[in-house]
A and B are shown apart, each in its own frame.
Chain A
């Protein structure tokens, strides 16, 4: 097995996998479902402990079974995934079809530590449309290492909304690679509330003119949770737009990481690249690490990065309380407001309600 990356690698400087490396994993056993699985009244694909569960699934049209892949990626986690992947889902939507929305659930429940490495593929033909609502959840100690490969042909539009609500003892290391053709749009938002340690690593490549992407995320962490959002956006064609708004709400001893690289090739004139990272530190022990990188070879581009780190504003809290709103609720209102901008790409109504409920739930969990 390929070794896990260490902090000696620049890309892993802020996220240490030594606690993961120390665990010996056993074979996954069939799991009991002890938590209610979300049901949004749309086709549902359910994986349990890394394996497709036909009984719990109501598969969408255009879904086909897993096929083993050859992957020459240099990314260590993708290599590990390629070596161990034994299941996953492929969704292949033909040109000009609006395939609606699908719910993709990964559920885990285990007494002994297990690892699973699903490999998902999504291909949208020219002008096709799809919304994927992805939920990762579970109980126990496990390592979820999914790789999702996305190919959007000309004019295709994919909304990809992810809720990472894994067990707080779990490791979640997801890699998402998207190839975005001319005028196609990859709209993504990740809500991170779970796992002991997690990383979502996006590689988005804009390959044709006027392709666009949103890679947004919100991290809500407490205890000693660690969450890393890493993105590499490659502008390889002119007049493309990439926008990233990542918000972190960090309490207790939690730690958030944002690493974002924008690569603008010489041909990619009129690139519009935007990164905004904002962190609310709710405790003096919380930590955020922000590392933006711009690598620009074209001369007519607009690329910006901004970062703010702050706390809740006592004036705002007092204003809300002076209207009769209890302090706890006042804080929750302000945190929700802080997150609003990150949720912008979530245009699918049911997805939005689902994610907003998850934020509510996080707040109520304590």
Chain B
């Protein structure tokens, strides 16, 4: 369970989050929608521990652990996963090696045995197949020369293999065509279960047709201004954010 209480954060002098309150119980998927500059990406970076963001107040606990006091890698091994809006290219680093190193870091932290190259490839190939991804995805350098859609699918592949307890998808739908969108949604839906929860950050209703959220929240000017069921996304799609910001 993720519990965010009154979370405020700034970049330099600029206050971005102004008291976010949010609880995502296990087994649920929550969507966060909102206009540009509302703080959606900042929320995902603060939760995953990226440098450059100063938490000025409030707290974020995951399964009772104080996320904000943990290093990024500790958050990851505790089960938090961020699917990047802009996945980073790593020239010279093979994708298979990268994902295996990540998986073994997580397994080590969980007290599980590390996977050798053969066992890993077997696992990775079956994940690739079920996500309808091209086979050479593992052989290439991490995200180097990948199209926008391939980068996002690579994020989903990592998520599928790392099996996080809580995933943040930061505008994973941006730049995706409808087929890629379905693949990404299938990847998330496959993880759905009593021990998995997710925060899906998106601009558009479109992704939420495929990943049906339990709750939808609207983030505007650094605060959650409205929460509701999946129907809220439809309402936003029809009316836009303008009215909400005024309220």
- Do A and B interact? yes
Chain B neighbourhood of A333, CB < 8 A: 90, 93, 98, 101
Return B201 CB to nearest CB of chain A, in Å: 15
Tell me which of B50, B51, B77, B88 contacts A324 (CB under 8 A): B77
Q: Please give the distance in Å from A92's CB to the nearest CB on chain B.
A: 39
Q: How far is the CA of A315 from the CA of B82 in the complex (A)?
A: 14
Interface residue stretch chosen among A202-210, A334-342, A358-366: A334-342
Q: Is the Cβ of A324 less than 8 Å from the Cβ of B102? A: yes
Most A CB contacts (10 A, CB to CB) among B51, B92, B98, B109 go to: B92
A-side contacts of B51, CB under 8 Å = 314, 318
B102 touches A319 (CB 8 A): no
Asked whether B76 lies within 8 Å of A324 as measured between CB atoms, the reply is yes
> Judging by beta carbons under 8 Å apart, are B92 and A322 in contact?
no
Question: Is B222 on the interface with A (CB-CB < 8 A)?
Answer: no
Answer whether A318 and B50 are a contact pair too, CB < 8 Å, given A323-B162, A324-B77, A334-B90.
yes
Q: How large is the interface on A (under 10, 10 to 19, 20 to 34, 35 or more residues)?
A: 20 to 34
Residue A357 at the chain B interface, CB threshold 8 Å: no
A334→B93 CA distance, assembly (Å) = 7
- Chain B nearest CB from A346 CB (Å) reads 15
Q: How far is the CA of A189 from the CA of B98 in the complex (A)?
A: 26
Cβ distance A273 to chain B, nearest Cβ, rounded Å = 24
Among A319, A326, A337, A338, the residue within 8 A (CB) of B88 is: A319
Q: Is A224 an interface residue (CB 8 A)?
A: no
Residue among A322, A326, A340 with most chain B CB within 10 A = A322
**In this complex, what residue of A is CB-closest to B110?**
A324
For residue B143, which residue of chain A has the nearest CB?
Answer: A319
CB contacts under 8 Å to B, within A312-354, are 314-316, 318-327, 329-330, 333-334, 336-341
Q: Which residues of B contact A330 (CB under 8 A)?
A: 73
Q: In chain B, residues 54-92, which have Cβ atoms closer than 8 Å to a Cβ of chain A?
A: 71-73, 75-77, 81-82, 84, 87-88, 90-92
**CB distance A323 to B105 under 8 Å?**
yes
Decide if B49 is an interface residue (CB 8 Å cutoff): yes
CB distance from B127 to the nearest CB of A (A): 15
Name B107's closest neighbour in chain A (CB-CB).
Answer: A324
A324–B90 contact, CB under 8 A?
Answer: no
Q: A318-B51, A319-B84 are in contact. Are A327 and B93 (CB under 8 A)?
A: no
Quick check: is B202 within 8 A (CB to CB) of the other chain? no
Q: How far is the CA of A355 from the CA of B162 in the complex (A)?
A: 31
In this complex, the member of A318, A323, A338 whose beta carbon has the largest number of chain B beta carbons within 10 angstroms is A323
Residues of A within 8 A of B106 (CB): 323-324
The interface on chain B, measured as residues whose beta carbon lies within 8 A of the other chain's beta carbons, has a size of 28
- Minimum distance in angstroms from B91 CB to a CB of chain A: 6
Contact B90 A316 (CB under 8 A): yes
A324 lies within 8 A of B162 (CB): yes
Q: Using known A-B contacts A323-B162, A325-B102, determine if residue A316 contacts B88 with beta carbons closer than 8 Å.
A: yes
Contacts of B42 in A (CB 8 A): none
For residue B205, CB closer than 8 A to chain A, the reply is: no
Q: Tell yes or no: B8 within 8 A of A by CB.
A: no
State A297–B99 Cα separation when bound (angstroms).
Answer: 50
With a cutoff of 8 Å between Cβ atoms, the chain A residues found around residue B76 in the complex are 321-324
**Min C-beta distance of B98 to chain A, whole Å:** 8
Query: B73 to A327, Cβ gap below 8 A?
Result: yes
Asked whether any CB of chain A lies closer than 8 Å to the CB of B48, the reply is yes
Residue of A nearest to B99 (CB): A323
Inter-subunit contact B92/A315 (CB<8 Å): no
A329 and B88 contact, CB distance less than 8 A: no
What 1/0 mask marks residues of chain B from 104 to 128 whose CB sits below 8 Å from any chain A CB? Answer: 0110010000000000000000000
Contact (Cβ within 8 A) A322 B72: yes
What is the distance, in angstroms, from B205's C-beta to the closest C-beta of chain A?
Answer: 28
Whether B158 contacts A323 by the Cβ 8 Å rule is: yes
Chain A residues with CB under 8 A of B50: 318, 322
Chain A nearest CB from B124 CB (Å) reads 14
B89 to chain A, nearest CB (A): 8
Q: Could you tell me if A326 and B105 are in contact, using CB atoms closer than 8 angstroms? A: yes
Q: Which of B25-56 contact A (CB under 8 A)?
A: 48-51
- Partner of B72 from the list A315, A321, A337 (CB cut-off 8 Å) is A321
With contacts A315-B88, A316-B88 taken as known, whether A322 is within 8 angstroms of B105 at the C-beta atoms is no
Distance in angstroms between the alpha carbons of A308 and B192 in the assembled complex: 46
| Shortest Cβ distance from B108 into A: residue | A324
A340 and B92 form a contact (CB under 8 A)? yes
Evaluate contact between B93 and A324: CB separation under 8 angstroms.
Answer: no
Asked if A325 contacts B92 (CB within 8 A), the reply is no
Residues A322 and B82 in contact in the complex (CB < 8 Å), given A327-B71, A333-B93 = yes
Complex: chain A residue closest to B83, CB-CB: A322
Chain A residues in 8 Å Cβ range of B105: 323-326, 329
Chain B, Cβ-Cβ closest to A341: B92
Please report the C-alpha to C-alpha distance between residue A325 and residue B84 in the assembled complex, in whole angstroms: 16
Residue of B82, B84, B92, B158 near A336 (CB, 8 A) is: B92
- In angstroms, Cα B82 to Cα A319, docked, is 9
With A325-B101, A337-B91 given, name 19 new contacts (CB 8 A).
A318-B51, A319-B90, A320-B90, A320-B98, A321-B76, A322-B73, A322-B75, A322-B81, A323-B76, A323-B98, A323-B99, A323-B102, A323-B105, A324-B105, A324-B162, A326-B73, A329-B105, A336-B92, A339-B92
Chain A residues within 8 Å of B, Cβ to Cβ: 314-316, 318-327, 329-330, 333-334, 336-341
Smallest CB-CB A-B distances: 3 pairs: A337-B92, A323-B102, A324-B76
Q: Could you name 12 residue pairs across A and B whose Cβ atoms are closer than 8 Å?
A: A316-B88, A319-B90, A321-B71, A322-B48, A322-B49, A322-B72, A322-B73, A323-B102, A324-B76, A324-B105, A333-B90, A336-B92
